[in-house]
Structure formats: C-alpha cells, structure tokens
Structure 1
Amino acid sequence: MRSVLFLCHRLPWPPSKGDKIRSYHVLRRLAQHYRVYLGTFVDDPADWQHLAPVEALCAEVCVQPLTPWQTRRRALASLARGEALTVGVYRDRVMRRWVEGLLAERKVDMAVCYSSGVAPFVMAHPQLPRIMDFVDVDSDKWRQYAQAHRGLKRMIYQREAQRLAQFERTVAAQFDASVLVSESEAAFFRQLVPEAAGKIYGIPNGVDGGYWDPQLAHASPYRQGERAVVFVGAMDYRANVHAAQWFAREVWPSVLAQCPDARFYIVGSHPTAAVHALGEAAGITVTGRVEDVRPWLAHAHAVAAPLRIARGIQNKVLEALAMGKVILATPEAWEGIEDFEGRQGCVSDSPEVMATEALRWLDAPQIARVPEARAMVLSRFDWVRNLDTYEAVLSNAQAGAASVDVAGIDALEAHP
C-alpha cells in the first residue's frame, strides 16, 4: 500500500463546519487506499475529544495545538518577516521536524496539503509529488474583507490579500496539481495563475443525502405559532458574522413590520459579541451551538444564506437544499451552484427583494417542501463520484501526469 502525507490546517474531524466537512471526507477516502500520515492542528479545545477516531484511520498522527495566543504571536512575527499571516500562523517547529523525519526516512510517496498555510512544510521537496487543496481562493476572501472595513483593519486585510495571492501563485506553480471546491472557483484561480492553468481542478464537495433527509422526523425547536427564518453557521467566522448583521439590520425589520409572528434565528457555535448583540433586537434569537441543526432547518419556513463575503461553495446552502428548503440567498452564497428548475426563494443582494420573498413564504399556510432542490443536490453533489475524481488527480500526480487538459476532467477520471 502506498503512503500519503496529509497536512491539514485543522483537525479533520468531526464534519461540523465548512472546511472540516471536506477534509473529513478526504481523510476517510485516503485511508481506504493509502497508509496515511496526518499532520494537523487543533484550534478548538473541544476537538481534542475527537482525536481517537482520527488516529484509528492513520498510520501516524502529529497534532499540534494552535491557541489564540500562539496565533497572535505568530501573526505578529509574520508581519515582521513580510510574509502572509496565513503562512506564519502555521510555522511550527514540532510539525516541521516531524515532516522532515518522515521524508528523510522515505515513509511517504506523496503529500496532500489542505489549505495553503500548511504548504511550506513540503515546499523544499520538489521530488515529492505534491497536491494542494486550496478549497477556496482565500486571498480573494481577504480582499473582500478589506473592502468591507476601514482604517487599520482594511490595511491589514489588503496586505494579507496581496501577500497570500503571491504565495498561492507560487504554490500552484510548484505543486503537481491544485484542487478547488468548484469549477467556478477553479476557473477564477486559472485566471489568476494562467501559467499553472493546466493543473488546476475544480472538484465539488458532496452531501450526505441520508443524513440531510427531509423525510426524517424531527421535533420542532420553535415556539408554537412562530414563523421562522433560520441562518445556520459557525458564528465566530467573519463572513457569517457580517452576513447575520446585514440580514438582521437590512432585511429583517421590513419582514417583522408586516409579519409580527416572524422570528429570525441565528443558529451556530461560538457567537461573537457582535452576533449576541443582534439577539437583543425584536424578533431575533441567537441560539449558540445546538446539538443538531436539522430540526432548525426542517421546521423553518425559509433558510437564509445572506453572505456578502464568500468564495467557493457553501455547504450550508447545499445541506438546506438537500432538505428541500426554500433558500433566501445572496449571489455570493450561491457561488458555485448552477441554478435549476424548481428552485424556490431568491438569489439576490437586494434587501427589498429578500424581504418580499421571505414574507411570501412566511405567509404560506404550510412549510413548503422543494423536492427539485433535493434532487439537484443528490445528482450533482455526490461524495463517492466527486472523491473518485479527487483520487484520480492524486493518482495522476504520482504518475507525473497531472498537467492534463483541464477541459477534459472526464479523461482524467479514466486515466489508468
């Protein structure tokens, strides 16, 4: 059995948030066909309890803590060195020595890096087949953050966007293949790095249709007579915080004025002080972490995805669609998803349009089900099929054939 070094910026377990959903499924697939050496970080103390199932899948694991204090200290050091903060945060001597030891002993045949911050651990080893899963073009996300802020924050975010974009280009040029979470994200990255366009691939996530099944019975978490719009996500993530604030301030007052029984629920772990403050307004509830988000989705009249800052594809949108829900999405949240016949809700950045569409579904006598949405997700976002393509990219990189024509990924899948 061949061996792979899987370097991941965050423990790929459990599949509880966007980046961890993809890394969780990638790890499980790698473990089926490779001896896996996993190097990763824990930035949430609650994740330590999940280490045992990860270790059971791997030949060897190196896990390093990444505390807020370490993050700040390393970020400041990165400023002094003139490098991207994303790169500096993961500068870890223990991890570096572990990786160098594996490579010196020739224990691994290939490296897969998940998130650009961990790429430096194998940058000095061009003889090793290396695949970079960027997931999203993070540098552009920092550019969007800069546009949404002023003063010192804008300066820091602009700097990070520029430095990280330079680093992403370097990685894409040096590595054997680069993978992104959608074809539209890959196309965007090819424009930024035309010299590496032939080895950049868009491979979507999947959705577990059995788990996100509207036929499963869930008790309603809402009060009787309440008409709910719900927004689900990690509420310490900048883009989600920004989205919740925008919807609460720009959309919800118009809805509440015409539908007093309506309530906007912000559901997700680690809400910041800014998110908690939204719960003080009329008609808004901030729940914090919940054990299972499916009841909140199942019994909502509509699901909001009001992101104004986004890249790639939003798992929260795919999961809501798999449950046959009405979606109130911004164009940014809909990125990477082709429109389909039968979609219900709206894709708009207009507060007026979104409020009008919310009222339409809040006024409906029953909670709507959208079977076309579920059918679309099950047909286009299948984990098995998409991971088959992912593994084909890895196999071709090992064979030195990753630079095939990106226009024909079907041909790549057929490569022996």
Structure 2
Amino acid sequence: MGEILFLSHRIPFPPDRGDKIRSHNVLKALARIAPVHVATFADDAHDRECEPELAALAASYRLVERSKPLGAAGVEALASGRPVSLAAFHDARLHAYVRDVLAHRAIDAIYVFSGQMAQYVPQDFRGRRVADLVDVDSAKFEAYAARGRGWRAWMERREGRLLRAEEARICATFETTLLISRAEVALLQSRLSAECGRVQTMANGLDAAHFDPVTVAPEPRMLACAGPRMIFTGQMDYAPNVEAATRAIEAVLPLVRARCPNASLHIVGRNPPRELVARDGEEGVHVWGRVPDIRPWLKAADVALVPLEIARGVQNKVLEAMAMGLPVVLSPGAATGIDALDGRDFAVRDSGGKMALAVADLASAPGTARLMGDAARAWIVANASWPAALARLPEFLGIDVDSLTDAA
C-alpha cells in the first residue's frame, strides 16, 4: 500500500458532532494503514485550535478557513449550474494542494468524506477512489423542498436534483461508495439510473468506554432543574435539529407537563439560532448552547427525546444517549439504521402526542425506565463499537487484510 489522500469537508477534530465523530475515527484508522495527507476546512476558531492534533496525525495537510458566505456560494452555483453544496466547498487553495500531493507523493487511494469533496478528485487519477457519502444528501433536500414554498423550495428542489446527479456521477466513477446503513444503500440504489460501482454499508460506531455513565458525574446546572428532565442534543444550526427542538418544545413538552407539571426540556448543542435561544426561559425550556462535554448532560437527564422528522443515516445522538444508559423516546426516522428492539432498547413513537405519553409513562415508572436504559447500553456494547464498524475499511481500499497482518 502506498499513501492515502483524505478529503473532508470539515476538520475531523474535535470529534464533537456526528460527521466529525465518523471522519475522526476513519482518519485514525487510515493513518494506521498508511501515511495520510489531509485536505480539509475549518469552520471557525474552535476548529483552528485543533490544528496541532491534525498536524500530529497527518503526513501532510492543508487546512483552509471556509469563509465563503452562503449567498456568494448560491450566486456561484447558479452561474455555474452546480449544486450550492459544491460551490460552498470549492476552494482554489485545496485544489492546488491536491494537485501537489498527487504530483509528488505515491498516492494509491483517495478517501472522500462527504460528497461535497468528490469535486477535488481528478478524472485521470488511476488509484483507488472511495466515497463516504454517509447518507443520501439529495433526498434530504428533496424532503426540505416538499415542506417548503416559494424561492427557498425552488432552490431546495434544484439542490436535490443536482446533488442526485452528482451522487450518480460518484457511484459511476468511484470503486466504492459507502453509506451509513442498509436503508441508505437501498435508497441510493433506488434513485440511480446509471451503472455504478460497489455501494456498501459502513455503519457508525461508538466508544462505549468513553460514553459510560459510571465514569462521569451529572451536570449540576441541569440536575438543579425540575424533572423529569428530557434532553435533545445536536448541532443546533442544522435545520432538522432546529425543527426537532421546536417540535419538542411545542408538541411534546406541554403534553408531558400536563401529566408531570415539573418536567423540563434541555436543548444542548452548539450554535442555536436566535429563534431557538429566544425560547430559553419558557415554561420548562432550557437552551444551553455549546458545552465542552455532552456526557455530564446526558448523565443528568431522565430521558432522551429525539423527535426528528427529517433524518438521514444513523443518529449519533441516539447512540450516545443509549450508551449513557438513558431511555430514548424517538421518531421512526431517528431510529433508522439502528437495529435495536423497539420497546426494549428504546421507544419509537410516530407523533408528538405518543412521544409525550411515552415520556410520561417512563417518568411514572422509574424501574421500567432503568431497565430500558440498561438494555440500551447493553445493545451498544454488543453491537456498536468503532473497531467493528471499520473492520472492512482495508477491503474498501483494495488492501489484502493478510498483508496488513504480515506487516504488523
């Protein structure tokens, strides 16, 4: 095996959100196989602080601030006929770095993390190409369009259509395309009209030793709030998460409080928008924003609430809550790709009213809640480790696993 070029739309540090957790673990696994060169973006100063960690792991790297405004990306996309997602992550400096690495290093494989980065792979590259799409982005934008109206819905329909064409291009030209679950694989394959390379499943994993409730103390500020305490976590400038948090506030919390008057809902995650921050202080609502470690907040909760209506792939927020021994009440979309048992390992409900009833039932039966939390953690330990999730990574890169064993 020669060397590897890793292209990621966000720096894989710190591993504190879904996409970064996956890219972080993939990058570490690749670095154990061969020297890795990394081209990636930093979203903010917090990302920049992690540059030394990237430098310590990579054989070389190029980290670029992603400062292009969304409006400018939109204009560029309309002028070029490309998806906004690609225009937003187009940068001449990264193109130059990729050309330089390919010209001067023995790159045998390019691993693309997220479809926006496939634009950096030259058509004449003769090595192995692996695209980790994670989930089917085009379907997500089509779902946005179906729920919207006006110019925004038009842009989202356009984005979905163009991303669908880009996904088809990737599948037709890359040796391996990876998705996070069997459901996402089936969805992508159902949308492709052209011949494609191998489309495979590579699930997410979790560090169950890190997300272990016995190793952390509960967050005192949350523990001081009345219970039962519901928690919703995630990147809070991500539209589906904002919608889910709003749904929890408006369609679930009031019904829970009708049976449990002291119930509280805690929204925990970076960059909550102004309209969500404005809900902080409403009856039972707490919007906490970015926290350095999500585990104490999960430890302080009585139940995790995940009412996502638009959900692609596997939700790390669900896996983390389960690992922390929390009973989880979630929508069918949020449960997609997690082969746990409804009623034992978590509670799947298809409406705000049913979610509220499930939360209230768990609050009134702490023994049942504890059994569900214990079963959830047991399922994670048995089924969701990162070594198991990444076991086929050498195969996807075209490497004989026996050769790695011999080299070691």
TM-score, with length taken from structure 2: 0.93
Aligned partners of 1:345 and 1:357 also within 8 Å: no
Distance 1:368 1:378 in 2: 17
Q: Which amino acid aligns with 1:11?
A: I
Name the SS of the counterpart of 1:201 in structure 2.
Answer: strand
**What is aligned with 1:368?**
370
Moved more, 13-22 or 122-131: 122-131
**What is aligned with 2:97?**
98
Name the SS of the counterpart of 2:98 in structure 1.
Answer: helix
Name the SS of the counterpart of 1:83 in structure 2.
Answer: coil
Aligned partners of 2:112 and 2:130 also within 8 Å: yes
Structure 2: gaps (5+ residues)? none
**What is aligned with 1:74?**
73
* Structure 1 residues 246 and 3: alpha-carbon distance in aligned structure 2, compared to 1, 3 A threshold: same
* Structure 1 residues 80 and 207: alpha-carbon distance in aligned structure 2, compared to 1, 3 A threshold: same
* Structure 1 residues 324 and 53: alpha-carbon distance in aligned structure 2, compared to 1, 3 A threshold: same
**What is aligned with 1:268?**
269
- Whether 2:357 is the aligned partner of 1:353: answer no
- Whether 2:153 is the aligned partner of 1:191: answer no
Q: Which amino acid aligns with 1:159?
A: R
**What is aligned with 1:406?**
none
Structure 1: gaps (5+ residues)? 400-409
Moved more, 13-22 or 343-352: 343-352
After superposition, the C-alpha distances for 1:14-59 in whole angstroms (9 at most, x for unaligned) are 1100100000001101111111110001112211000101111111
- Whether 2:47 is the aligned partner of 1:35: answer no
Distance 1:327 1:391 in 2: 34
**What is aligned with 1:162?**
161
Moved more, 298-307 or 104-113: 104-113
The structural deviation recorded for 1:118 is 0.9
Moved over 4 A (4+): 194-198
**What is aligned with 1:402?**
none
The structural deviation recorded for 1:280 is 4.1
- Whether 2:142 is the aligned partner of 1:143: answer yes
- Whether 2:341 is the aligned partner of 1:331: answer no
Mapping of residues 171-320 of structure 1, within 5 Å: 171-193=170-192, 195-196=194-195, 199-220=198-219, 221-223=222-224, 225-320=226-321
The structural deviation recorded for 1:154 is 0.9
After superposition, the C-alpha distances for 1:112-157 in whole angstroms (9 at most, x for unaligned) are 1111111111142242321100011111111111122221211111
Aligned partners of 1:126 and 1:174 also within 8 Å: no
After superposition, the C-alpha distances for 1:93-124 in whole angstroms (9 at most, x for unaligned) are 11111111222235311111111111111142
Distance 1:210 1:378 in 2: 9
Q: Which amino acid aligns with 1:64?
A: V
- Whether 2:92 is the aligned partner of 1:83: answer no
Moved more, 223-232 or 27-36: 223-232
Distance 1:155 1:374 in 2: 43
Aligned partners of 2:268 and 2:289 also within 8 Å: yes
Q: RMSD in angstroms over aligned alpha carbons?
A: 2.1
Name the SS of the counterpart of 1:332 in structure 2.
Answer: helix
Moved more, 14-23 or 316-325: 316-325
Equivalent residue for 2:397, pick from 394, 399, 402: 394
**What is aligned with 1:25?**
25
Name the SS of the counterpart of 2:387 in structure 1.
Answer: helix
Distance 1:379 1:65 in 2: 39
Distance 2:198 2:143 in 1: 26
